[in-house]
Amino acid sequence: MLRFGHISTIDASKGLYKVTFEEDDLVSGWLPYLVKNTKQNKDESPFDQDEHVACLMDENCEYGVILGAINSETDLPIVGDKDIRVTTYKDGSYIKFDRATKKLTVSCEGDVEVVKATNINFKASSKITLDSDVDVTGKITVTKDIKSTTGNITSDTGDIKATLGDVKATTHSLSTHVHSGVTSGFSSTGPPTP
């Protein structure tokens, strides 16, 4: 028997819920809910208090299963667009994919953390834009150019080296730049001039 009610009691650690069926003021026993996987792969999507759900129950409403949450007049779809699939969270964070524009959007009010991975590969056909400071604690290997359009490239404690290439500033090359009129011995030139 298909019945509609609201979540009234939650045991999230066991994935069990009690549902109140308002039309006859009946409260179910502990009910499991349908998930994609529970064995080697596991899926978890807990319900909130008072969430509107559909249940498949036996004739006496003693045993059954929660089929899922359903929209209602008070809980309408957040976007309501046939081309957009979205998961939104209580704090305003969301993951959204628009199949019409082929755009995936992730918005997080807190931190985003990848806890463990062997390799992470970012591939974009055009470019990747990082609009923030970036802290790198490991080695960076670059196979093409590094270009700064408005800022400086600095090193606080280490060297800037060119093993096989040259270091250039405007038209001055460190490998071919020489000073004339330098005396031998312990004499030294002044600082370089631009």
Does CATH place domain 2-69 in 2.40.50.230?
yes
Q: What is the C-alpha separation between 28 and 26, in angstroms, rounded?
A: 7
On average, the pLDDT of the chain sits at 88
Q: Is the pLDDT of residue 9 over 70?
A: yes
Average pLDDT, integer, range 25-30: 93
The 3-class SS string of 6-63 reads EEEEEECCCCEEEEEEHHHCEECCCECECCCCECCCECCCCCCCCCEEEEEECCCCCC
Q: What is the mean pLDDT of residues 143-153?
A: 84
Mean predicted confidence (pLDDT) in 91-102: 96
pLDDT score at 186? 63
pLDDT at 165: 76
**What is the band of 187 on the pLDDT scale with cuts at 50, 70, 90?**
low
Domain residue spans of the chain: 2-69
Percent share of the chain, pLDDT over 90 = 61
